[in-house]
Amino acid sequence: MPELRKDPIIGRWVIIATERARRPDQFSGAAQDGPAEKPCPFCEGSESKTPPEIYALRPKNTPANGPGWDLRVVPSIAPFLRIEGDLDRRGKGLYDLMNGIGAHEIIIESNQHIANMADLSDEQISKVLDCYINRIIDLEKDKRFKYALIFKNHGWSAGAGSIKHSRSQLIATPVNPKRVKEELAGARSYYEYHERCIFCDIVKQELASKDRLILDLDGFIAITPFAARFPFEIWIMPKKHSCDFVSLDADSRNYLAKVLKIVLSKLKKGLNDPPYNFVIHTAPFRRQKSGYWKSIDYDYHWHIEIMPRLTRVAGFEWGTGFYICPLPPENAAQFLREVQI
């Protein structure tokens, strides 16, 4: 059973992922490049190579776990967290831990062997966004969970492993991720003083200055953030205030799909298909019910953070929280604006 353990000093929860545990001697040596790709378990026709599907977009006359689908969601074969069981929060001396309960799902974005989400059609990306929303709504019903994290690892050095087939991941957790909590607290503090959403103010300032603006299209902007941590770090934000990604209506999903495709295509074309991660930052579950989160509808603003993995100078950043970005975000934005796709 995996465990969730709390750092007693910082208060950060960490997953000790026993399901993926390797023996200590298997970590030997420097990080290597990925092994050759095996036959892909995520292509149409290989359904038996994955655990049974949780969700699929497929014609009604096709049976589950067979061909004919357009998009599939399956549990991870090596889940970081387990779906069955109780949290059993407990102490161990001064330490806090709980069972590693949660969901860990793989969203297979296409039945074709396409590696980069940038190469999916607008329509297919829109279906992927629909799927994210459907899965979050479903998992929110489970009272053990506080948050659903949608993220993507593209490319070996972004953590994608040896399988290239484009997919996203969803992790539902019984705790809120530290970074999300910090954002919520920071946004609330700004709101308390200014009585305005800090993200809305950022959208306004970026639209006015245009220095870090990559794209302004159909209700969304893509910017490089002012205090970028990484070269070509990109945030996609809805221009209209909304704390909750799940509340995105059908038209806006189509618009977001278009924006995402343009941004990912510019990254792919301009930077030679770099590895990247993206993470959707949205409001936690059941935010209305607790006093702490009661203002969140006004002070939080969902967005997507895209982090290309182009530098390795990130060693001491982990240890200090001090990021050094070797490319001014204004230069990155200008470069990406000019990439023709």
User: Should residue 83 be labelled a site residue for its own copies when binding is judged by CB under 8 A?
Assistant: no
User: Should residue 144 be labelled a site residue for its own copies when binding is judged by CB under 8 A?
Assistant: no
Closest CA to 231 of 289, 271, 192: 271
Residue 13: left (phi > 0), alpha (psi -120 to 50), or beta?
beta
Closest CA to 327 of 232, 186, 190, 225: 232
Closest CA to 88 of 174, 190, 208, 21: 174
User: Should residue 292 be labelled a site residue for its own copies when binding is judged by CB under 8 A?
Assistant: no
CA distance 129 to 52: 21
Q: Which two tokens stand for residue 248?
A: 């995105």
Query: Which range binds its own copies by CB under 8 A, 61-69, 83-91, 136-144, 152-160?
Result: 152-160
Site residue total, its own copies (CB under 8 A): 102
List 45, 52, 68, 186, residue binding its own copies (CB under 8 A):
186
45, 67, 69, 168 from 61: Cα distances, Å: 16, 11, 11, 26
User: Should residue 340 be labelled a site residue for its own copies when binding is judged by CB under 8 A?
Assistant: no
Do 154 and 102 touch, CB atoms closer than 8 A? no
Residue 51 beta carbon to its own copies: minimum distance, rounded to whole angstroms: 19
Residue 310 beta carbon to its own copies: minimum distance, rounded to whole angstroms: 5
List 158, 163, 217, 246, residue binding its own copies (CB under 8 A):
158
List 63, 93, 193, 249, residue binding its own copies (CB under 8 A):
93
DSSP code for 321: S
> What is the footprint of its own copies within residues 37-76 (CB under 8 A)?
none
Residue 161 or 219: the one with the smaller Cβ distance to its own copies is 161
User: Should residue 283 be labelled a site residue for its own copies when binding is judged by CB under 8 A?
Assistant: no
Residue 128 beta carbon to its own copies: minimum distance, rounded to whole angstroms: 17
List 84, 91, 227, 249, residue binding its own copies (CB under 8 A):
227
**Burial profile 95-132: b = 16 or more Cβ within 10 angstroms, e = fewer:** ebbbbbbbbbbbbbbbbeebbbbbbbebebbbbbbbbb
Q: Which two tokens stand for residue 212?
A: 């870090």
Residue 236 beta carbon to its own copies: minimum distance, rounded to whole angstroms: 13
User: Should residue 173 be labelled a site residue for its own copies when binding is judged by CB under 8 A?
Assistant: yes
User: Should residue 82 be labelled a site residue for its own copies when binding is judged by CB under 8 A?
Assistant: no
